[in-house]
């Protein structure tokens, strides 16, 4: 029924991961079609904080985030102003001596990977961030981390993909992925490569993906320029982000280019309930005020929620999905989708081309989750 | 402020908005002995239409009702903004988180009356962001809150009967009104006026207003297309669709009708239709024990607001029989309101007066050209930030609904910008208010 | 009817006397002060809606920023700054 040339690759999902994959594949010379059920950058991507961050929860995560942050830095000169790339850096805040020890551990891991960072003491911390409360033990400063505006970044990446011949179809829902094909209603699109980059919804298209929606709340304030200058995250965040229990909050605050302050973060497993949970919102704001008392007097303009696609081993699924011909998965990035979109795209492009990726992709192989019961379907 | 400083208030009924509808509702309910808390974000009661300049006399109806309110025992809280309103599944109570300056309180009540009134519909045109460009109701509000218009050269260009009293009031204050321009066609306006033959008092009132600005021309079928000036307004361009002319002025009062304030209704999950809260014959919304009266349930003017406020109040306290006596008044006033909406609806040409570099979102300085008509409101927000500022889309969102036929985005808390401390002040989960004494509305 | 008492407020260091019952927004406008704030792209802005909806009249009042001047009554000693605290 379609009179267009058959695509070489179909990317399902125009969030930041799909956009990055589409761009990477288009730049490989492939004819790419992106299919998005709503509009570009409107899903989890729109809810995200846009923090480009190196995280060392595991060696694989460190490798992927470090690669990605470097790719974002390389891309920075080309990015449009709307992407609002801000190289503000991250300060991992230590409340006490034991957290400062944890920060030093982190610093060692980062240094070993060539990531520039330094431990700073309480007085330097107070100089850098005067609105942080007194009595903190110090922080780990990671200068090369940055912040972007996720939806604009997704759009920019897709514009680049379009410039390399890609087509983007919005308001277009994929009902089924099968061997080298996707079905949209009665329409069937064929391609040798299909990439499932549909975020938390990727499980609907590829049953068996161990991805669950992990809800997060955010709040943004009115303009208070200079209130904070770095992305500020408590070291306790690491404990929160990587425990799959219900309901946790962590101090995580970001200065936006507009001068507004973006306040996160929370994690809950409540299926797909996108409504604001006022208790969780309050806990999150409470935590923020504990670290930055002056936040108390700043007006909040909006609150919203988003669903992070979470996997049990906290690593994304990047690579072939063996049971469906031509299918690659690029999903399950939890709270690191914005950062690792570029690294993911790089891996996908390499895996599709049969090249050796710049980092070991084994840990991300979707095949790792295949149990005998799944395979038999 | 620590959470323990937050005030907890218990009421039988919370009335939001102290315009005519809210005053009528609160007074009626409080007179029955129930505990009523009435909140309004303005410094005084009266809403927009009953505002009066300090030292001047409000209209007789306002005096009567405000006196009645004061006698009724209603607890009136002015300068108080409702930033959040929700139902607690466990307690069956509604909780309103309110902010006053930097203080916060939480008001719990089993019943809520939304009398949140209306705001003006602003449509963008070149130069509308210049100082000196205000609304029509905006001019009235500023005049009544003490602004002097003496000596100012004023052009009023907008829509609806509100143009008349505002023009008269400005002239009385010493303004030099150059022109009052009604965008609706002359034939439509004449038809509407004729349709008021059953209400000679209304026609007489209109004539009195017109007499109040006799020195200035009142023209129909004309609208403003541009405002110009270096740092503030200096002149406007008016068109009748064929010819344009330029009028020097320093004040332009321009707005195109009223739209209901339904943010709180939306937040509670009330059904809305045609931009208003949907109510039944008892003025109850689709959410049990939440009533909507006055402009919030549909634009209709002062008299209708008073009638609806009373109907909703009487039904809220179980006096449906008495409420029914007001039904025919409501029906005839609603019919006039419907005719008014139709007559004065903004004309097609108003969709085309903005240019691509005209700002449509004033909070974020987003231009018309940055927004594509085929987007949704949500897309425009995410792609351009339009609607993401402190006014939460009350100005640009309303304009975009008209300009591009969009639907409003869903509302979330906070309903108005709220201090972090205010949001934290609500500890309802852990601290419950004491049960009020002798309150029949509680089980 | 006797004229209402006057109250004195300080706006950007300058004293303004206005009748009691006047809002801060009305006070500034009556005194010919047109610049309430600067928009994101630097435009001068003044009140539009007069009733707390548009947020164009935001000022710092008694040290608290982002307050809608059209909703605040001028009272003796009130201090007003037309440069919102810390805004760009």
A152 touches chain B (CB under 8 A): yes
Query: Closest to B419 (Cβ–Cβ): which among A155, A297, A303?
Result: A297
CB contact under 8 A, A223 and C87: yes
A364 touches chain C (CB under 8 A): no
Instruction: Say how many CA atoms lie within 13 Å of B412 toward its Cβ.
Output: 18
> What Å distances lie between residue B30 and A144, B75, B76, B170, B371, CA to CA?
62, 9, 11, 36, 48
What subunits touch chain A, counting only 3 or more CB pairs under 8 A? B, C
Mutate to test the interface with C, among B39, B46, B81, B147 (most CBs of C within 10 A): B147
The single residue listed with the structure tokens 């710092």 is C60
Per-residue pLDDT of chain B (443 residues; tens, 9 = 90+): 454 568 999 999 999 999 999 999 999 999 999 999 999 999 999 999 898 777 788 889 999 999 999 999 999 999 999 999 999 888 889 999 999 999 999 999 999 999 999 999 999 999 999 999 999 999 999 999 999 999 999 999 999 999 999 999 999 999 999 999 999 999 999 999 998 888 888 899 999 999 999 999 999 999 999 999 999 999 999 999 999 999 999 999 999 999 999 999 999 999 999 999 999 999 999 999 999 999 999 999 999 999 999 999 999 999 999 999 999 999 999 999 999 999 999 999 999 999 999 999 999 999 999 999 999 999 999 999 999 999 999 999 999 999 999 999 888 999 999 999 999 999 865 333 333 333 333 22
**What is the distance between the alpha carbons of residues A261 and A266, in angstroms, rounded to a whole number?**
16
**What is the distance between the alpha carbons of residues B12 and B108, in angstroms, rounded to a whole number?**
8
C13: left (phi over 0), alpha (psi -120 to 50) or beta: left
B101 touches chain A (CB under 8 A): no
CB contact under 8 A, C71 and B119: no
Helix (H, G, I), strand (E, B) or coil at B66: helix
CB contact under 8 A, C86 and A226: yes
C37, burial (CB in 10 Å: exposed 0-12, middle 13-18, buried 19+): buried
Instruction: Say how many CA atoms lie within 13 Å of A203 toward its Cβ.
Output: 15
User: Could you tell me which residues come within 8 angstroms of residue B300 by beta carbon, excluding any fewer than 6 positions away?
Assistant: B294, B308, B333, B334, B336, B337
Tokens of B379: 């897309």
CB contact under 8 A, A296 and B421: yes
pTM: 0.94
pLDDT at A19: 98
pLDDT digit string, tens, across residues B127-175: 999 999 999 999 999 999 999 999 999 999 999 999 999 999 999 999 9
Query: Closest to A225 (Cβ–Cβ): which among C64, C66, C87?
Result: C87
* Residue C88, min C-alpha distance to chain A (Å): 6
User: Do the beta carbons of residue B160 and residue B49 sit within 8 Å?
Assistant: no
pLDDT digit string, tens, across residues A53-76: 999 999 999 999 999 999 999 999
pLDDT at C56: 97
CB contact under 8 A, B362 and C54: yes
Q: Which of residues 36-55 of A touch B (CB under 8 A)?
A: 39, 41-42, 46
Query: Closest to A259 (Cβ–Cβ): which among C64, C66, C88?
Result: C88
DSSP A162-202: HHTT-EEE-S----EEETTEEEETTEEEE-SEEEE--GGGH
DSSP letter, residue C83:
S
CB contact under 8 A, A42 and B382: yes
Instruction: Say how many CA atoms lie within 13 Å of B227 toward its Cβ.
Output: 28
* Residue A158, min C-alpha distance to chain C (Å): 28
What subunits touch chain C, counting only 3 or more CB pairs under 8 A? A, B
Instruction: Say how many CA atoms lie within 13 Å of B371 toward its Cβ.
Output: 33
- Residue A329 above 90 pLDDT? yes
pLDDT at B86: 97
pLDDT at B150: 97
pLDDT at B18: 98
Give percent helix, percent strand, percent coil of chain C, each to the nearest 5: 10, 35, 55
pLDDT digit string, tens, across residues C36-45: 999 999 999 9
**Does B5 or A168 have the greater pLDDT score?**
A168
**Chain C residue with the nearest C-alpha to that of A227:** C86
pLDDT at A337: 98
> What Å distances lie between residue B208 and A249, B50, B164, B175, B215, CA to CA?
63, 18, 9, 18, 13
DSSP B155-192: EEEEBSTTHHHHHHHHHHTT-EEEEEEE-S-HHHHHHH
**What is the distance between the alpha carbons of residues A199 and A17, in angstroms, rounded to a whole number?**
8
Torsion A46-A49-A51-A54 (CA) sign: negative
User: Do the beta carbons of residue B112 and residue B85 sit within 8 Å?
Assistant: yes
**What is the distance between the alpha carbons of residues B245 and B315, in angstroms, rounded to a whole number?**
53
Look at residues A262, A237, A243, A41 and name the one whose alpha carbon lies nearest to residue A147: A262
Helix (H, G, I), strand (E, B) or coil at A233: strand
User: Do the beta carbons of residue B19 and residue B69 sit within 8 Å?
Assistant: no
User: Do the beta carbons of residue A252 and residue A335 sit within 8 Å?
Assistant: no
Burial A281-320 (b: 16+ CB within 10 A, else e): bbbbbebbbebbeebbbbbbbbbebbbbbbbeebbbbbbb
Alpha-carbon Rg for chain A in angstroms: 20
DSSP letter, residue B196:
G
Give the H/E segment covering residue A71.
helix A59-75
Query: Closest to B379 (Cβ–Cβ): which among A42, A295, A303?
Result: A42
What mean pLDDT comes out for the span C47-73? 96
Query: Closest to A285 (Cβ–Cβ): which among B376, B424, B427?
Result: B424
B398 touches chain C (CB under 8 A): no
> What Å distances lie between residue B192 and B2, B225, B256, CA to CA?
56, 25, 17
CB contact under 8 A, A281 and B423: yes
User: Could you tell me which residues come within 8 angstroms of residue B35 by beta carbon, excluding any fewer than 6 positions away?
Assistant: B10, B11, B12, B13, B75, B436, B439
Residue pairs between chains A and B whose CB atoms are closer than 8 Å: 75
Q: Which of residues 217-276 of B touch C (CB under 8 A)?
A: 231-232
Question: In DSSP terms, which residues pair with C44 in a beta bridge?
Answer: C38
Torsion C15-C19-C24-C25 (CA) sign: negative
- Residue A376 above 60 pLDDT? no
User: Do the beta carbons of residue B355 and residue B368 sit within 8 Å?
Assistant: yes
DSSP A303-339: EEEEEEEE-TTS--EEEE-TTSTTEEEEE--GGGHHH
* Residue A148, min C-alpha distance to chain C (Å): 19
- Residue C86 above 50 pLDDT? no
**Chain C residue with the nearest C-alpha to that of B140:** C50
The single residue listed with the structure tokens 């125009």 is A14
- Which residues of chain B make contact with C7, given a CB cutoff of 8 A? none
User: Do the beta carbons of residue C55 and residue C67 sit within 8 Å?
Assistant: no
> What Å distances lie between residue C53 and A134, B11, B158, B398, CA to CA?
38, 27, 18, 12
CB contact under 8 A, B417 and A286: no
CB contact under 8 A, C71 and B42: yes
pLDDT digit string, tens, across residues A229-255: 999 999 987 665 555 557 899 999 999
User: Could you tell me which residues come within 8 angstroms of residue B418 by beta carbon, excluding any fewer than 6 positions away?
Assistant: A299, A300, B81, B83, B84, B97, B99
User: Could you tell me which residues come within 8 angstroms of residue A177 by beta carbon, excluding any fewer than 6 positions away?
Assistant: A12, A183, A194, A196, A205, A206, A324, A327
Above pLDDT 70, what percent of chain A? 95
A274 touches chain B (CB under 8 A): no
CA dihedral A40, A44, A48, A51 (to 10 degrees): -80
B420 touches chain A (CB under 8 A): yes
CB contact under 8 A, B132 and C34: yes
Pairing of strands B272-273, B276-277: antiparallel
Torsion A153-A159-A164-A166 (CA) sign: positive
B187, burial (CB in 10 Å: exposed 0-12, middle 13-18, buried 19+): exposed
**What is the distance between the alpha carbons of residues C65 and A301, in angstroms, rounded to a whole number?**
14
pLDDT at C85: 42
């Amino acid at each position: 029924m379609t009179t267009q040339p058959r695509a070489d690759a179909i990317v399902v999902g125009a969030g930041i991961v799909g956009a990055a994959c589409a761009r990477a594949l288009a730049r490989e010379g492939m004819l790419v079609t992106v299919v998005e059920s709503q509009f570009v950058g409107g899903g989890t991507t729109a809810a995200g904080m846009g923090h480009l961050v190196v995280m060392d929860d595991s060696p694989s995560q460190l490798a992927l985030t470090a690669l990605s942050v470097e790719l974002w830095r390389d891309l920075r000169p080309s990015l449009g102003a709307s992407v609002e790339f801000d190289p503000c850096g991250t300060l991992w805040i230590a409340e006490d001596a034991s957290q400062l020890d944890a920060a030093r551990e982190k610093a060692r891991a980062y240094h070993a990977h060539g990531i520039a960072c330094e431990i700073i003491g309480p007085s330097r911390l107070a100089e850098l961030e005067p609105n942080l409360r007194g009595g903190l033990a110090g922080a780990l400063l990671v200068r090369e981390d940055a912040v972007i505006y996720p939806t604009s970044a997704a759009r920019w990446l897709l514009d680049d993909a379009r410039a390399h011949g890609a087509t983007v179809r919005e308001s277009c829902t994929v009902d089924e992925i099968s061997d080298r094909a996707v079905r949209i209603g009665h329409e069937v699109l064929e391609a040798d490569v299909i990439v499932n980059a549909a975020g938390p919804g990727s499980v609907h298209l590829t049953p068996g993906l161990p991805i669950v929606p992990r809800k997060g709340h955010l709040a943004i304030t009115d303009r208070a320029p200079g209130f904070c200058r770095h992305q500020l995250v408590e070291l306790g965040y690491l404990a929160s982000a990587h425990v799959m229990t219900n309901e946790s909050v962590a101090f995580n605050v970001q200065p936006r280019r507009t001068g507004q302050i973006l306040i996160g973060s929370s994690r809950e497993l409540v299926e797909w309930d996108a409504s604001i949970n006022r208790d969780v919102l309050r806990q999150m704001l409470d935590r923020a005020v504990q670290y930055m008392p002056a936040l108390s007097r700043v007006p909040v303009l909006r609150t919203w929620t988003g669903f992070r696609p979470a996997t049990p081993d906290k690593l994304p699924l990047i690579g072939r999905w063996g049971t469906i011909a031509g299918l690659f998965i690029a999903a399950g990035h939890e709270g690191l989708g914005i950062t690792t979109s570029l690294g993911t795209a790089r891996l996908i492009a390499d895996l599709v081309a049969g090249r050796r990726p710049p980092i070991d992709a084994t840990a991300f192989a979707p095949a790792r989750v295949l149990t005998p019961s799944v395979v038999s379907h | 402020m620590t959470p323990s400083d937050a005030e907890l208030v218990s009421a039988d009924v919370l009335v939001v908005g102290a315009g005519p509808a809210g005053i009528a509702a609160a007074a009626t309910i409080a007179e029955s002995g129930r505990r009523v808390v009435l909140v309004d974000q303005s410094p005084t009661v009266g809403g927009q239409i009953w505002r009066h300049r300090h030292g001047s006399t409000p209209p007789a109806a306002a005096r009567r009702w405000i006196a009645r309110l004061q006698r009724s025992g209603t607890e009136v809280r002015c300068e108080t903004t409702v930033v959040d309103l929700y139902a607690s599944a466990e307690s069956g109570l509604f909780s309103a988180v309110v902010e006053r300056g930097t203080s916060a309180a939480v008001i719990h009540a089993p019943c809520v009356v939304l009398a949140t009134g209306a705001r003006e519909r602003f449509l963008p045109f070149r130069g509308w962001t210049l100082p000196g460009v205000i609304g029509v109701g905006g001019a009235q509000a500023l005049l009544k809150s003490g602004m002097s218009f003496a000596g100012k050269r004023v052009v009023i260009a907008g829509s609806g009967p509100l143009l008349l009293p505002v023009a008269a009031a400005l002239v009385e204050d010493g303004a030099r009104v150059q022109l009052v321009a009604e965008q609706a066609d002359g034939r439509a306006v004449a038809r509407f006026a004729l349709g008021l033959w059953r209400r000679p008092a209304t026609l007489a009132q209109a004539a009195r207003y017109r007499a109040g600005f006799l020195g200035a021309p009142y023209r129909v079928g004309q609208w403003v297309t541009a405002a110009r000036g270096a740092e503030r307004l200096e002149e406007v361009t008016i068109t009748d669709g064929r010819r344009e002319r330029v009028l020097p002025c320093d004040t332009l009062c321009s707005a195109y009708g009223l739209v209901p304030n339904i943010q709180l209704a939306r937040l509670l999950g009330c059904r809305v239709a045609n931009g208003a809260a949907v109510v039944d014959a008892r003025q109850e919304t689709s959410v049990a024990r939440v009533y909507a009266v006055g402009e919030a349930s549909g634009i209709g003017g002062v008299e209708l607001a008073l009638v609806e406020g009373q109907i909703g109040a009487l039904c809220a306290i179980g006096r449906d029989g008495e409420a029914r006596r007001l039904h025919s008044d409501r029906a005839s006033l609603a019919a006039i309101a419907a005719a008014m909406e139709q007559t004065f609806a903004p004309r097609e040409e108003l969709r085309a007066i903005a240019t691509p570099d005209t700002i449509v979102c004033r909070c974020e300085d987003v231009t018309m050209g940055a927004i594509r008509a085929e987007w949704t409101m949500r897309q425009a927000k995410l792609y351009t930030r339009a609607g993401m500022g402190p006014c939460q889309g009350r100005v640009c969102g309303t304009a975009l609904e008209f300009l591009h036929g969009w639907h409003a985005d869903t509302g979330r808390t906070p309903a108005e910008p709220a201090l972090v401390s205010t949001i934290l002040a609500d500890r309802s989960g852990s601290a419950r208010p004491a049960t009020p004494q002798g309150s029949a509305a509680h089980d | 009817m006797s004229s209402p008492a006057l109250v004195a407020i300080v706006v950007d260091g300058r004293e303004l006397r206005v009748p009691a019952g006047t809002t801060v927004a009305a006070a500034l406008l009556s005194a010919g002060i047109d610049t309430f704030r600067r928009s994101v792209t630097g435009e001068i802005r003044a009140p539009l809606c007069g009733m707390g909806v548009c947020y164009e009249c935001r000022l710092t009042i008694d040290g608290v920023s982002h307050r809608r001047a059209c909703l605040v009554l001028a009272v003796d000693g009130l201090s007003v700054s037309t440069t919102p605290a810390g805004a760009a």
